[in-house]
Structure 1
Amino acid sequence: MPKKNYSDLQVSFGAHLQKIRLSKGLSLRALATRCDLDDSKISKIENGKLNVQLSTIVELAKGLDINPKDLLDFG
C-alpha cells in the first residue's frame, strides 16, 4: 500500500469531516458555534488547507456529537 503524504491525509480528513457535518444538517457556522471555533478554520480544515490538532478534533467531535475516533476513521 503506497504511503499517503500529509496533504493527502488533510484532504481526506477534511472531506470526511464535511460529509459528517452535512449528514447532520449543520452549516459551517452552526458547527463553529457548537465547537467554539471559527467557521473559517473549519472551512480550511474541510478543504485540506489546515493541519488539524488533536484538541481541535476533540472539539469538532463534541460539536458533531460523535466520538473523536469516528472523525479519524476516514480510510
Structure 2
Amino acid sequence: MGDTQRKNNFQVLFGKQLEKQRTLKKLSYRQLAQRCDLDHSDISKMEKGERNIKLSSVLQLCIGLNIQPRELFNFEFDKDELK
C-alpha cells in the first residue's frame, strides 16, 4: 500500500470518529464550526477524510466538542499498513 493510501485511510478513520463525536453531542456542522472557529465546509471535509488537518485544528475541535484529544483518536487501524 502506498503512502498516499495509508494517509487517506487514517484520515477516513479520524473523520468517522469526528462525525461520531459531533453526532453524540447533537451538533450540526455549523454549530460545531461556531464553537471551533472553523469553517463548516472544512469540518465536512474532515469527516469525509478529504482534509489532512493540523494539530491546532484538532485542539479547536476538542474545545468545541468539549472532549479530550484521545477521544478523536479512539479508533483501530492496522499498524502494519503504516510500514
- What amino acid is the match of 1:35? C
Give the whole-Å Cα distance in 1 for the aligned partners of 2:18 and 2:73: 9
Q: What TM-score does the superposition give when structure 2 sets the normalisation length?
A: 0.83
Aligned to 2:12: 11
* Distance in 1 (alpha carbons) for counterparts of 2:29 and 2:23: 9
After superposition, where does 1:1-75 map in structure 2 within 5 Å? 5-75=6-76
In the TM superposition, what is the alpha-carbon distance from 1:10 to its structure 2 partner? 0.4
Q: Would you say how many aligned residue pairs link Structure 1 and Structure 2?
A: 72
TM-superposed CA distance for 1:69, in Å, is 1.6
Q: CA RMSD in A?
A: 1.1
Percent pairwise identity: 47
Gaps of 5+ in 1: none
Distance in 2 between residues matched to 1:57 and 1:8, nearest whole Å: 18
Partner of 2:80: none
Q: Give runs of ≥4 in structure 1 deviating > 2 Å.
A: none
Distance 2:37 2:75 in 1: 24
Instruction: Extract unaligned runs of 5+ from structure 2.
Output: 77-83
Residue 73 (structure 1) shift:
1.4
Distance of 2:75 and 2:63 partners within structure 1 = 18
